[in-house]
Structures are given as structure tokens and as C-alpha cells.
């Protein structure tokens, strides 16, 4: 993948995510994670290669099965939070009243109750990010792509939403593809983790994660027997990719 006549951004990315699987991408800033997600969701057409969703070629076209939480929240400033959250449902032709009812059920979970009629400009970055998450989750997509979706959240809420996401994925057989700079988050949630290097972005390692616990509680998964081992190995492999661009990868544990 190239942008115009610029340098190659991604090369030979061959990746899959099965139904019910939670797959993460980690790698230094600028290695092409958001570019890859824009390609998967059809917002960008790759200069080479193809994307298949449920066996159908979707290269360059959005797939209705995919919900995408972008790295930037992209809320519409002239619509209230409720109107932003119901936008995707309205686009899918869900009647307004039903859309509002479905959205209303999420405001408590995402700690935004009371802000239904606020405008994005009146909310903090983390609150806007939660509204963007709700806008995707309310459409109940089979495949969910999240690009640093939990970055701006405080820790207890992050743990709560991570646990809910994991439970939803495992109970309903959804597929999540996830980008994060937080290795702890990648290890606690993922079935598999792809490590990318930059310039051009390429997969250098793929890990299958088995923490040795069936618990879906994030706090319990963090204290699982093999957590530290995966954390260390993935952290080291990201360090090995480092071309001076991976400043975000400092160890936080």
C-alpha cells in the first residue's frame, strides 16, 4: 500500500480473523495500523492485494457486517450525542423511535447518561470516544474493528468496557480486530496478536495467546499464570521492530 507516490506503507500483510476470535495489532506509531483498518473497512482501496469478508471480496467497498470505531471519534458537531449515536441505525433504515430506544439502553453502560442532549463540543475527549463506541456498538455488527478505542478512558471504565466487550464476543460469536499501543490490553483480550514493524509495515510476529484461564474478567486475566510471559515476549518483539519511532512502547507494568 502507498499513498500516492509516497513510500510503501504496508507490505505483504496476510491476516485473518475467525468468527468469535479477538485479534490485535500492535506496533510502533506510523507502522500502518490505521491504514490497514481503513483498507479492511473499505474506506481506502489498497494499491495491491484484496480484502475478503465472509468469503466475499470487499476490497474498496464498506461491508455491512463491519462496525468501525476509528482512532479519531469523528462525531458530527451539529448533532447531539443521542443523534450521533443513532446515526448508524438511521443509515440502516431503523425507525427513529426504535433507534432512540436501542441507543438509550447504552448510555448507562458507557457512563454518558444525562448527556443525551449535549453536543460533542461540550464533552471531554474520553466522553466523545465513548459516544463513538456507542455509535458502533448500537448497530450490533458481527465484526468490530477498533482503533485505539479505549485509549482516552479512565482505568476502571476501561476495565469495565473491556470485560463487556470480551463477554459479548465470546457469547455471541462476534469477531473483534483491535489496534492498541497497550500491550497489557492486547495480551488480556486477544486470542492472537500480530506484531507489525514500520517502513514498510509488515507482520514480523504472530502470537497465539493462551493465558490458561477461562475467565472473561479483565482483572482476573491480568493475574493469569502466563500473562507476564506473553507481556514480556510481545514487548521485546515490539522493541526489536523499533526504528526510533516506537516511543509509546515503554513498559508500564
The answer to whether the beta carbons of residues 46 and 59 sit under 8 Å apart is: yes
Instruction: Give min distance, CB of 182 to Mg ion, in A.
Output: 13
158 binds, among ligand ATP, Mg ion, none (CB under 5 to 8 A by kind): none
Asked if 193 touches ligand ATP (CB under 6 A), the answer is no
Residue that is written with C-alpha cell 470516544 in the block: 129
* Sequence-distant (≥ 6) Cβ neighbours of residue 166 within 8 angstroms: 22, 189, 216, 218
Instruction: Check binding of 71 to ligand ATP (CB under 6 A).
Output: yes
**Residues 20, 30, 42, 126: which binds ligand ATP (CB under 6 A)?**
30
Q: How would you classify the pairing of strands 66-69 and 143-147?
A: parallel
**C-alpha distances out from residue 68 to 25, 64, 149, 213, Å:** 15, 10, 10, 29
List CB contacts of 50: < 8 A, sequence separation 6 or more.
Answer: 57, 59
Binding partner of residue 29 among ligand ATP, Mg ion, none, CB cut-off 5 to 8 Å per kind? ligand ATP
Residue 25 vs 231, nearer CB to Mg ion: 25
**Among the listed residues 13, 17, 33, 161, the single contact to ligand ATP using CB under 6 A:** 33
Near ligand ATP by CB under 6 A: residue from 34, 58, 163, 188: 34
Based on CB atoms, which residue is closest to ligand ATP, 18 or 243? Answer: 243
Instruction: Among 35, 83, 86, 175, indicate the residue that binds ligand ATP (CB under 6 A).
Output: 35
* Residue 31 is a binding residue for ligand ATP (CB under 6 A): yes
**Binding of ligand ATP at residue 247 (CB under 6 A)?**
no
The nearest distance, CB 89 to ligand ATP, in angstroms, is 28
- The CB density around residue 39, as the number of other CB atoms within 10 Å, is 23
- The reply to whether 6 sits near ligand ATP by the rule CB under 6 A is yes
Number of residues that bind ligand ATP (CB under 6 A): 11
Selected range binding Mg ion among 65-73, 183-191, 208-216, 218-226, rule: CB under 5 A: 65-73
**34 part of the interface to Mg ion, by CB under 5 A:** yes
Task: Determine, following the binding rule CB under 6 A, whether residue 9 of this chain makes contact with ligand ATP.
Answer: yes
Contacting positions for Mg ion (CB under 5 A): 33-34, 71
Contacting positions for ligand ATP (CB under 6 A): 3, 6, 9, 29-35, 71
Amino acid at each position: 500500500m502507498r499513498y500516492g507516490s509516497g513510500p510503501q506503507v504496508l507490505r505483504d500483510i496476510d491476516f485473518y480473523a475467525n468468527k468469535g476470535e479477538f485479534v490485535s495489532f500492535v506496533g510502533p506509531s506510523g507502522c500502518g495500523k490505521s491504514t490497514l483498518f481503513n483498507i479492511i473497512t473499505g474506506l481506502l482501496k489498497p494499491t495491491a492485494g484484496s480484502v475478503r469478508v465472509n468469503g466475499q471480496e470487499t476490497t474498496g467497498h464498506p461491508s455491512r457486517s463491519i462496525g468501525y470505531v476509528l482512532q479519531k471519534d469523528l462525531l458530527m458537531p451539529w448533532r447531539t450525542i443521542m443523534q450521533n449515536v443513532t446515526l448508524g441505525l438511521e443509515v440502516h433504515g431503523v425507525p427513529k423511535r426504535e433507534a432512540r430506544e436501542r441507543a438509550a439502553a447504552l448510555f448507562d453502560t458507557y457512563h454518558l447518561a444525562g448527556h443525551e442532549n449535549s453536543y460533542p463540543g461540550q464533552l471531554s475527549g474520553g466522553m466523545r470516544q465513548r459516544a463513538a463506541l456507542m455509535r458502533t456498538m448500537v448497530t450490533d455488527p458481527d465484526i468490530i474493528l477498533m482503533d485505539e478505542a479505549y485509549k482516552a478512558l479512565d482505568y476502571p471504565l476501561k476495565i469495565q468496557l473491556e470485560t463487556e466487550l470480551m463477554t459479548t464476543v465470546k457469547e455471541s460469536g462476534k469477531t473483534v480486530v483491535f489496534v492498541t499501543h497497550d500491550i497489557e490490553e492486547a495480551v488480556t483480550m486477544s486470542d492472537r496478536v500480530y506484531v507489525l514493524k514500520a517502513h514498510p509495515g509488515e507482520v514480523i510476529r504472530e502470537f497465539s495467546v493462551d493465558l490458561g484461564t477461562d475467565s472473561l474478567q479483565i482483572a482476573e486475566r491480568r493475574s493469569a499464570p502466563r500473562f507476564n510471559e506473553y507481556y514480556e515476549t510481545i514487548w521485546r518483539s515490539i522493541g526489536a521492530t523499533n526504528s526510533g519511532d516506537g516511543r509509546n512502547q515503554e513498559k508500564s507494568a
